Amino acid sequence: MKRSLSVVLLAVVFVQQVFAQSIDEGKKFMYYERFNSAKEVFTKLLAANAKNEDAAYWLGQAYLGLEDVAKAKQTYQTALQGNPTSPLLLAGMGQVELIENKTTDARNHFDMAVNTSKSKDIDVLHAVGRANAYTKAGDANYGITMLQKATTLKGFKDPSVYVTMGDAYRKLVDGGNAVLAFKNALAINPTYAAAKHKEGLIYESQKNKEFFIPAFEEAVRMDPNYGPAFYSLYVYWYFRDVTKAEDYLNKYIAAIDSDPQNDYYRIYLKYASGQFAEAITQSDDLIKRVGVDVIKPRIYVLKAYSHKSLAEKAAKEKDSVKAVAEYANAKKNIDIYLSKSKSEEVVPKDYELLGDIVAGTPGSESQAYANYERAMNMDTAAENKASYLQKAVDLAKKQKDKIATAYWMAKQYNAKKNPTNVDIYNLGRAYMDAGSVDFNAFKSADSIFTIYTEKYPTQYFGYYWRGRANWSIDTSMMNGMANPHFEKFIELALPLLKTADSSNAVGSVKLAYKYFIGYNIFVKKDYKVAIEYCDKILAIDPADQEAADYKRQLTGGKTQSTGNTATPAGNNQKKPATGSKPAATKSPATSARKR
């Protein structure tokens, strides 16, 4: 009898070990982000024992990895019916609720899970931390608190907890603490590739190539089966070295679950190498093989990029018919992608692509602005925002839309933390140009050049253009609005006329003098002063025929002049020389580039 009991006991222990090994096997697949393989393991375990809460929890996690929230929710709901107070399952359901933006319900379930386990279960605390780190609506600080509790419990030695903690800090854009957490994970397990890879992701977000490339390479040396690090290396080399990218892609595909859709990555290399037509053909073949209802929508983005590239090529070759057709195909595919994708799957670059496509489509150019703005509003990277804004500015200039140019340049200016004198100058000039279409733009120009004079009181450009703006507002000169600004400009500019670089200021000084000729003739009726201003012009430029003609008129002589100084140069008359653009106060290179 005792022998029979011993055999039964051994059998129970053996079964428990098998289940434990299987759970660990599934969790290992989760670590490698092989979610399909993990799903198969946990599905079998749950089929063998419907009350296996560990298997149920991790099956739900596998479904979330596969972006199947509905299946994850169903898994947790079913498991909770048999075990309604399971802390692990409550944490899993809370994660689903965060995805559904049910933050109050989620917090209730998290608190219940933690309290039921008396804050003494590492796996439960980790599950709560995981849920808050990896969901948009999750509270990263709350998650970190739970994860920190887990690290203080007796027997703790799980590097994955520190990796999740690091990702929670990444969510908070706290790179310092994130790196520290990843290093803590490596202190527990020096070959834990996920920690080294994610440390690299921190440096990648900081554009620190000297650190993130070695980190990715070290991760794959630590564990040649860790696919995510190979993927990061593939992405980095994608536009830099197609051969290297292909090598890393092959290693990535060898490390992940087999899936026909993996061919998508290979097709993208066709695009990277400029084989746009081949990329389109192979994309269509893959869609047919996998099925339109199964294929991941991003394949249509690849097609859109490829068609856009063919359109741009056709435009350069002056083949307008082909260019229009290819832009139409690009638009069709990006529209399919947007219609098939969930809102959270769409990234700012997708709207930038749509903006580029309609910007190149005759008659649809104006639609591009809304898409660039949408991309800008979605993106958190300042560098990317600047790129979208520049595209909008460039399009407005290409369309010769002065109002739109000023509008987007104003947004561009406001987005800069420390705009330079050249930035202020360029925006002011854009408003001056827009004034020919909308009179109110002259007022905006005056406001911008006021900023210039306040920030750079010893530079004459701001005063000169305040004079021009106010002359354009006060066209009759009756209010003398331009007077103080031109006077200050002349005061600052006159000393420059004695330098070797005087040619930059001569044209602007002459225009200011001509303003005062008109002002004294038509407003003050002081012809003597008007003649004095004619003499001032002729003193710096004896060949100025216009000034000579004015003087002859004012002195009773004959004139050949047809000009009229009473009209501001900002209007539709021929403009005299306006002087050079200001050099950048902080960056001369910027000024030279923008001349």
Distance of CA 349 to the CA centre of its chain: 7
Checking if the pLDDT of 19 tops 70, the result is no
Tokens in use for 165? 């903690």
Distance of CA 477 to the CA centre of its chain: 47
Give tens-digit pLDDT for 468-490: 999 999 999 999 999 999 999 99
Looking at residue 435, what is its pLDDT? Answer: 97
pLDDT confidence band for 556 (50 / 70 / 90) = confident
- How many C-beta atoms lie closer than 10 Å to residue 580's C-beta? 15
What is the residue-averaged pLDDT of the chain? 90
Give tens-digit pLDDT for 280-317: 999 999 999 999 999 999 999 999 999 999 999 999 99
Distance of CA 394 to the CA centre of its chain: 18
Checking if the pLDDT of 213 tops 50, the result is yes
Q: Which CATH architecture has domain 23-255?
A: Alpha Horseshoe (1.25)
Tokens in use for 375? 């991309």
Q: Which CATH architecture has domain 416-595?
A: Alpha Horseshoe (1.25)
Domain range annotation of the chain: 23-255, 416-595
Farthest-apart Cα atoms in the chain, separation: 139
Looking at residue 21, what is its pLDDT? Answer: 60
Do 23-255 and 416-595 fold alike per CATH?
yes
pLDDT confidence band for 3 (50 / 70 / 90) = very low
Decide: 46 and 55 in contact? Cβ < 8 Å: yes
How much of the chain is helix, strand and coil, in % rounded to 5? 75, 0, 25
Give tens-digit pLDDT for 235-279: 999 989 999 999 999 999 999 999 999 999 999 999 999 999 999
Q: What is the CA radius of gyration of the chain?
A: 35
The answer to which of 136-150, 402-416, 580-594 has the lowest mean pLDDT is: 580-594
Residue 68 CB partners (closer than 8 Å, separation 6+) = none
Distance of CA 517 to the CA centre of its chain: 52
Give tens-digit pLDDT for 164-197: 999 999 999 999 999 999 999 999 999 999 999 9
Decide: 203 and 182 in contact? Cβ < 8 Å: no
